[in-house]
Amino acid sequence: MKKIVITYGTYDLLHVGHINLLKRARDLGDYLIVGLSTDEFNRMKNKDCFLPYVQRKAVLETIRYVDEVIPEENWEQKVADIKNKKIDIFVMGNDWEGKFDELKKCCEVVYLERTPDISTTCLKENIIDKVKKLI
């Protein structure tokens, strides 16, 4: 029986922290779905994205660990996604530890260790610092 895994995120400026999460999530099952935050939802998350949804989706779909990408449009859709996609395991990085425990009524919930010392925010800050030095 194919074990289906789902995770959600913005996945802007893809980096090794994202890849480590996707690889470990995929290794928990046989098929990985990523709920990718839409540009509108990122505005709701107060997350300022470099890349639009279409480009972030295209990048994710090239990753060998990712089998399917669906839009994440709101906080509430996870229960319906889990039911409709017959999800066995919900995975997030442990910066979200405990935040999605209500999903334990629908499927297994796993929080994986975040990759230290890398984030989209620090990438952005490093890029800005480097550009400032050039000016």
Q: Rule CB under 6 A: which residues touch ligand C2G?
A: 7-11, 17-18, 21, 37, 47, 72, 92-93, 95-96, 114-115, 118-119
User: Which residue is at the shortest CB distance from ligand C2G?
Assistant: 93
CB closer to ligand C2G, 50 vs 86: 50
Between the alpha carbon of residue 130 and those of residues 12, 14, 124, 125, 126, the distances in Å are 19, 19, 10, 9, 6
* Distance separating alpha carbons of residues 90 and 63, to the nearest angstrom: 19
Answer for the pair 60, 12: CB distance below 8 angstroms, yes or no: no
Q: Which of 2, 3, 45, 132 is catalytic?
A: 45
- Strands 31-37 and 68-72 turn out to be parallel
- DSSP 8-state symbol, 95: G
CB closer to ligand C2G, 2 vs 46: 46
Q: Tell me whether residue 47 is one of the annotated catalytic residues.
A: yes
* Distance separating alpha carbons of residues 60 and 64, to the nearest angstrom: 9
Least distance in Å: CB of 134 to ligand C2G? Answer: 27
Least distance in Å: CB of 135 to ligand C2G? Answer: 29
Q: Tell me whether residue 104 is one of the annotated catalytic residues.
A: no
Q: Which of 3, 23, 47, 86 is catalytic?
A: 47
Least distance in Å: CB of 59 to ligand C2G? Answer: 12
Query: Which residue numbers are catalytic?
Result: 45, 47
